[in-house]
Amino acid sequence: MKTLRFFFSAFFTHAKLLLLASLPALALTAFGLYQLEVTAPGAWVAALGMRALVEFAFLGLCLSLLNLLGFKNKWGLAGALYAYYLATTADFVLLWYFKERFGAKYLDTLQGGDYDFLTDWRIVSYLVLLFLFCVFAVRRFFQAGRRRTAAGQMAGCALVLAAVYLFNPLQGLSKPNDFLTTYLLPPSPVYTLRAVLAPVPQALRVKQLPPATAQTAKKYHVFSARNSGIGKEYTRVIFIATESLSAKYLHRFNPLIPPAASAVYDRLFDVYPATTLHTVTLSTLYGLSVIFSSHPYARLSYENGYPLSFVRVLKEHGFHTAFLRGAHEDYMDENILFHQAGFEEVIGRNFFAKQAAYAPFIDWWGLTDRKLYEYAAEYLARRKNEKTFLTLLTVDTHVPLGRADYLGQEYEEIAAPFYAVPTMPRAYARAGQDLQHFLQLLEQKGLLDDKTLIVWTGDHPSFSNTPTNALFKPYQRVFDRIPFAVLTQTPLQRPLTQDGLASQLDIAPTILDLLHLPQPQGFFGHSLFEQAVPRSIFDVKEDYVVVTTADGLQVIPLNSSKKADQAVLDLIRTFWIED
């Protein structure tokens, strides 16, 4: 009994401080459950209760370790708590924007961005208040304890964490709540460290499918792309990837968007074959990699030189292939990676900075969209009589608020709330005008003829609605899909599928279908002109994959050892290369 009294008294030595320090993690978990669309009340109660216990024990373990080491400096402890809160804040922001937590994937994407927003008074105020809160909490509730007490507290916290790890009751929840609630359980530093130290996945390059993989592929209707007969010979193919595009910015899908703000986009749906697509990635490199390869495991695609790429197919059939972007061409080594995907040229901000006509229009993430379109029109005019495939990646609609300074370029303003200051809705309204400007330029230069094919979509969606939340209520699932349209001089009369399981995986097969070029046997997707074909979505996250079919949804950890799960994991790691 004496031992138990000592154990519990040690465990609760800093109870007030630990409870206070645990609050941000509880807010993170609650927001994560909301973003991941967990609706079962029991899952919420269980997840929040377990997260409170885990966070309390984890912070208690860290604090007792500092006590054992004789650390007594309150300013230093406040600084450590502040760093921990910044990690939690990063998780919160990434859940807000991407519906995923902080991990190795997003550590890789931190380079090359524009972080001037950190000087915004609201951000500065938040960081200052956060630090003051840490100082208050430590100075008010921290007391340096004896090493014997600290040892007892460490033992108690370690025992709690071990019990949760070995006997996690959240695993008893219904699927997929069992996984989604557990996914949010680890403290931010633990989750990030685990992601960084996780074994590197290995691609399975095969020329002949193993029988087990072939059976799984048949079950999920992959590796069966085919042409629909819609195709013809286009010699000028333009693929436009609008940064962070989401259907929620189109009046057609969201009546709260003013009609004038999305008139250009809505007309595409009225005139041309168009649909919306489920996305299977949440950042530019990952989104484009899935689009190029029709393979869901973006990381394995670009880390292995794109074993599959429709761009390479176009190059092999005589197209000159070029990638134009407003941002740095070497961001995340994309100049090297996209060459491997089949692009002969990768042109971006570094190139434009040396051009007198374009250098004055570079700011923030890069060259303005309007000037990028103007260069693209000039580029195509120079190659008017050559087979050319041109990809355009715009930048003015980059989160968090879109471009703030358009460097003297004039736009038709939208007389509605949220459109008078930098916001994402304003950025998309202006991006639509830039798209219209580009189409007019092509027509003026004689480039919008019966040999021209334009495919317009987004690289990935944007989930954050701050500070324009009022425009996106009530939330609808279609808001998180990306628009997709096929533009030709004479609009094609065959419609695109409106299947809710149509996804980014279907873009590569669709483009090759339109050009009547052979489909690589390793594509996961299908042409969007195929109406009745069953489709499956494989959304590979940081440490799990979400598989969606007409029969329902599965969530599978990437490190699962279950035989049934392994079949799917082998499938998404497989690159079936032509014989």
| Mean pLDDT calculated for residue range 517-542 | 95
Q: 188 and 231: one domain?
A: no
Helix, strand, coil percentages, rounded to 5, for the chain:
50, 10, 40
Task: Give the separation between CA 499 and CA 157, rounded to whole angstroms.
Answer: 50
Please report whether residue 39 resides in a domain.
Answer: yes
Which class for 570: exposed (0-12), middle (13-18), buried (19 or more C-beta within 10 A)?
middle
- pTM here is 0.91
- Greatest alpha-carbon span in the chain: 90
Lowest mean pLDDT among 105-114, 406-415, 425-434: 105-114
In Å, how far are 29, 114, 140, 145, 297 from 57, measured between CA atoms? 16, 37, 20, 17, 35
| Mean pLDDT calculated for residue range 302-321 | 97
> For residues 464-475, b (16+ Cβ closer than 10 Å) or e, as one string?
bbeebeebbeee
Which of 197, 217, 246 delimits the end of a domain?
A: 197
Nearest CA-CA partner of 347 in 323, 330, 365: 323
CA 414, 274, 546, 538 dihedral sign is negative
Q: Which two tokens stand for residue 427?
A: 């950025």
| ∠ Cα 239 387 577 (to 5°) | 70
Q: What is the dihedral of CA 225, 226, 229, 231, to 10 degrees?
A: 60
Please report whether residue 457 resides in a domain.
Answer: yes
> Is the pLDDT score of 8 beyond 80?
no
State percent of the chain over pLDDT 90: 65
Which pLDDT score is estimated for 560?
87
Q: 139 and 231: one domain?
A: no
Which of 181, 197, 213 delimits the end of a domain?
A: 197
Q: How many domains does the chain have?
A: 2
| Mean pLDDT calculated for residue range 179-197 | 86
Please report whether residue 203 resides in a domain.
Answer: no
CATH number of the domain within which 266 lies: 3.40.720.10
Which pLDDT score is estimated for 350?
96
Q: 259 and 375: one domain?
A: yes
Q: Higher pLDDT residue, 387 or 14?
A: 387
> Is the pLDDT score of 287 beyond 70?
yes
Which pLDDT score is estimated for 537?
96
> Is the pLDDT score of 7 beyond 50?
no
Q: How many residues does the chain have?
A: 579
Please report whether residue 575 resides in a domain.
Answer: no
Cis previous bond, 520, omega within 30: no
Task: Give the separation between CA 311 and CA 463, rounded to whole angstroms.
Answer: 29
Which pLDDT score is estimated for 165?
86
Nearest CA-CA partner of 2 in 30, 257, 10: 10
Which pLDDT score is estimated for 290?
97
Q: What pLDDT, in 10s, does the model give residues 80-110?
A: 899 999 988 888 888 887 778 877 777 766 6
Q: 351 and 266: one domain?
A: yes
Lowest mean pLDDT among 14-23, 141-150, 267-276, 541-550: 141-150
> Is the pLDDT score of 404 beyond 50?
yes
Q: Which domain holds residue 65?
A: 2-197
Q: What is the mean pLDDT of the chain?
A: 91
Q: Which residue has the tokens 């950042």?
A: 283
Give Rg (Cα) of the chain.
26
Q: 43 and 190: one domain?
A: yes
Please report whether residue 547 resides in a domain.
Answer: no
Task: Give the separation between CA 308 and CA 340, rounded to whole angstroms.
Answer: 10
| ∠ Cα 238 505 272 (to 5°) | 45
Please report whether residue 309 resides in a domain.
Answer: yes
In Å, how far are 227, 309, 519 from 509, measured between CA atoms? 8, 10, 6
Q: 260 and 168: one domain?
A: no
Q: 462 and 346: one domain?
A: yes
> Is the pLDDT score of 189 beyond 50?
yes
Q: 187 and 245: one domain?
A: no
Please report whether residue 71 resides in a domain.
Answer: yes
Which class for 529: exposed (0-12), middle (13-18), buried (19 or more C-beta within 10 A)?
buried
Q: What pLDDT, in 10s, does the model give residues 554-563?
A: 999 988 888 8
Please report whether residue 41 resides in a domain.
Answer: yes
CA atoms within 13 A on the CB side of 60: 30
Q: Which two tokens stand for residue 405?
A: 């300074």
Q: What pLDDT, in 10s, does the model give residues 191-233?
A: 888 888 888 889 999 999 999 999 999 999 999 999 999 999 9
